[in-house]
A and B are shown apart, each in its own frame.
Chain A
Amino acid sequence: MQTKNKVVAMILAGGKGTRLESLTKKTAKPAVSFAAKYRIIDFPISNCANSGINVVGVLLQYESAELDAYIGNGEKWGLNGIHCLMSTLAPKQTEKGANWYKGTADAITQNIDFLDKANPEYVLILSGDHIYKTSYTQMIQLHESSKADVTISVIEVDPKEASRFGIMAVDKKDRITEFQEKPKVPKSNLASMGVYVFSWKALREYLIRDDKDPESEHDFGKNIIPQMLKDKKKLQAYRFEGYWRDVGTLASLHEANMDIALDKAGLDLYDEDDSNKIYTEDVYSVPQYVGKKGSIRSSIANQGAIILGDVESSVISSGALIESGAKLTRCVVMEGARIRSGAKIHNAIVAPYVDIEEGRQINLGSDEVVLVSK
């Protein structure tokens, strides 16, 4: 018998993330390290797990193998239980031929069979590269009670920044009346987070229509949502409150890491309440050690980090070695990187397994974030 799944989550994790430069040369963006211990995709997947969503599909494309292996059967997030299904969905060969995903909507269209089999009432579309802690329950409830065809999660942004986002104009009941993609003159300060709850019936219909449209870019923001608006479907805005970051650029990735290190994120990873925990892979490493001449302040560091130097306002991942006499300020040091004695680095992301030679000075006194990679 097919169990009815009320909500199925589909996480878009196929992007290349070119703005993260060489960090994504061999790694899909959602698999990039975050906050010393996590990978970016841990956040949306944990949010699903904590919202009681049992069926999660992860759409993969760029450098899919590593992310596929990481996701596995979903055990890291507890999504391997009897009612759970965690599935990675990379482009595949079918009787119609072989296709890459041509856009965010096309990625879902090509997996209609997966959704039909799961047979949900609602489909939650998420992005694999957002940092936030939430339960989707309220948003789904709003979608249900407002009888919308689609509910879009929106966040208030600084009006001056609004022209960088997809902006939603709403009426008194937060019904969406207009959608503007990166508008010069924004009609509101409500930006779309790229998080949608669709009624599966409505979404299915629009995906099939969109698939047949040769002009379409097969994108949710550019095609599906505008078309639904045009057809006067019910589009509801859900006002998200709390910490949310799109970490698509080096600067935003660095800033979000700093928010955690300086304990000002409003994203409480240290919450006593376990119901919103972010789950991730735990590595089998030696304990974290701070040496006799080491010091670490205003920072976070993961299991397996060895800190013999001076670390301030930084993020130190597992297996990283900060030698004595090295000095780091505002650095994000990723897994296995080695900062040798006397090296001084400021405002940088140090890529995994980079070896910084003795005495090297990088980016001192600069406000610009730099990437240090092999």
Chain B
Amino acid sequence: MKKIIGICDLHNDPELGELTAKRPLGSVSFLGRYGLIDFTLSNFSNSNIDRVYILAKNGASRLRKHLGNGAIWTNNTKRGFVGLYLNEKGLANPTFNTDISNIKENLNINDIDFDYAIVAPSYMLASMDFRPIINAHEASEADVTVIYSHVDNADSDFIRCDKLKVSDDGSIAKVSKNLGRSANADISLDTYIISKKAFKKLISDSSKVSELYSIKDMINYYIEDESLIVKGYRFEGYVVPILSLNKYVEHSLDLLNYHIRNKLMLPEWPIYTTTHNTPPALYGRSADVENSFIANGAIIKGRVRNCIISRDVVIEKDADLRNCIIFTHSQIGKGVKMEYVVCDKDAKVSNVEKLIGKEDEIILIDQGARV
């Protein structure tokens, strides 16, 4: 049987301004009940990958709070695990805080018993079964497989992602930065299958090539220097990256659409997440809710349209929310009107009449703020 480890690599996750000032992107709330990292971790679980290494750049305590002991994503809790690794030296020296330095600091690749490692970030939102990809990787005799998607929204949703030129034999001929000059492109999902031998080589070569290089940089390096066979695997499912606050809102609200939701949330592919023993959502007599996700523990007395309401949120009577995302434990007071607002957790909005943002000008209310 093939031995596979999952590496959830958070080092390359983008920053979303204030929203990620105090937490890594992976622990940012999503659809009112998930953390973004849940998708990657559930992809591992559902693909029967029971040994998972999370490489964190920072924010380990926030992540640890979300992850608990990791048992939620683990099948056999004795044999499997979800480990969280942080390069503490890297915190003082962010330039050198790479995924490779994290691995070197915390793990000894030689000692880990595996045939293939899957390296995936948390910002690339998809429900992905790794099993057929591993089979394809094995059959192709590649050292590294880069998972990519052929997209028709490269000019809007995949800016600055890696654009690939894939040869007819499946090998990757060229990598470049996607500047969004055309809508159709093969875009790397920043997700890789790496054979153990290649992984060892990658780690050892990195010291010679550059201390600043990440796993992704090294793979791109091999694509040019051809000392490893790097092939592509075209993933056909729904995928979007979370690259900015505006895109975070746009892609979150997109999922209110049943047809889009059904592409990401697959019936045989549960997304596991930390649970909090919150009671069911409570709707008051004056509740008026349309096209929204409502998480448990929420108390809704006002008007809510095209919104995502998280756990334990209170929406008071006559409040009127459109296209908003409200994080855990925030309260929106009587009569407050809001559009295109992301309200971070524990905030209280009651002293303003109106907060009106736009699709491309999202208003962010900070964690714990009183507005």
Contacts and interface: CB of A to CB of B under 8 A. Distances in A.
B270 A287 contact: no
A274 B33 CA distance: 19
**At the interface, is chain A mostly helix, strand, loop or mixed?**
loop
Nearest to B30: A287
A37 B282 CA distance: 12
Contact of B292 (A280, A289, A293, A299): A289
A300 B272 contact: no
A35 B291 contact: no
Interface in B286-321: 286-297, 299, 308
B277 interface: yes
B108 interface: no
B279 interface: yes
18 contacts: A277-B277, A279-B277, A284-B271, A286-B265, A287-B32, A287-B294, A288-B293, A289-B256, A291-B290, A292-B291, A297-B288, A298-B283, A298-B285, A299-B282, A302-B281, A303-B33, A315-B280, A316-B280
A303 B278 CA distance: 10
A331 interface: no
Interface of B: 31-33, 256, 258, 261, 265, 270-273, 275-277, 279-297, 299, 308
Contacts of B280: 35-37, 300-303, 315-316
A300 B283 contact: yes
B292 A297 contact: no
Nearest to A42: B277
B279 A288 contact: no
B277 A301 contact: no
B207 to A, nearest CB: 42
B277 A299 contact: no
Contact of B283 (A270, A284, A301): A301
A5 B286 CA distance: 49
A128 to B, nearest CB: 19
Contacts of A142: none
A302 B298 CA distance: 10
B299 A297 contact: no
A278 B279 contact: yes
A289 B293 contact: yes
A118 interface: no
Contacts of B308: 287
Contacts of B270: 284
Given A37-B296, A284-B271, A290 B289 contact: yes
A303 B295 contact: yes
B295 A288 contact: yes
Contacts of A270: 279, 282, 297, 299
A361 interface: no
A284 B38 CA distance: 12
Interface in A234-285: 263, 269-270, 277-280, 282, 284
Interface of A: 35-37, 263, 269-270, 277-280, 282, 284, 286-303, 315-316
B289 A295 contact: yes
B282 A297 contact: no
A327 to B, nearest CB: 16
Given A296-B287, A301-B283, A301-B294, 18 more contacts: A35-B279, A35-B280, A37-B279, A270-B282, A284-B272, A284-B273, A286-B261, A287-B31, A287-B32, A287-B295, A290-B291, A292-B290, A294-B290, A295-B289, A297-B283, A298-B284, A300-B280, A315-B280
B281 A297 contact: no
Nearest to B291: A292
A287 B287 contact: no
A303 B299 contact: no
A296 B297 contact: no
Contacts of B284: 263, 297-298
A291 B294 CA distance: 11
Contacts of B289: 290, 294-296
Contacts of A292: 290-291
B261 to A, nearest CB: 8
A288 B283 CA distance: 13
A291 B292 CA distance: 7
A290 B256 CA distance: 9
A286 B271 CA distance: 8
A65 B281 CA distance: 30
Contacts of A280: 277
Most buried by B among A277, A290, A298: A290
Nearest to A269: B279
B285 A282 contact: no
Contacts of B279: 35, 37, 269-270, 278, 300
B361 to A, nearest CB: 25
A288 B281 contact: yes
A329 to B, nearest CB: 13
Contacts of A288: 281, 293-296
A314 to B, nearest CB: 10
Contacts of A302: 280-281, 296
A297 B270 CA distance: 29
A278 B296 CA distance: 14
Contacts of B296: 37, 288, 302-303
A275 to B, nearest CB: 13
A295 B288 contact: yes
A287 B291 contact: no
A269 B281 CA distance: 10
A278 B276 CA distance: 11
Contacts of A286: 261, 265
Nearest to A302: B280
A44 to B, nearest CB: 16
B40 to A, nearest CB: 16
A167 B295 CA distance: 43
Given A37-B296, A294-B290, A295-B289, A300 B31 contact: no
Contacts of B291: 290-292
A296 B283 CA distance: 7
Contacts of B31: 287
Q: Name which of B273, B294, B299, B308 has the most chain A CB atoms within 10 A of its CB.
A: B294
A278 to B, nearest CB: 7
Nearest to B305: A292
Contacts of A287: 31-33, 293-295, 308
Nearest to B311: A303
Nearest to B289: A290
A303 B286 CA distance: 21
Given A270-B297, A287-B33, A290-B294, A297 B285 contact: yes
A315 to B, nearest CB: 8
A286 B285 CA distance: 25
A353 B145 CA distance: 43
| Residue from B271, B272, B287, B289 whose CB has the most chain A CB atoms within 10 Å | B289
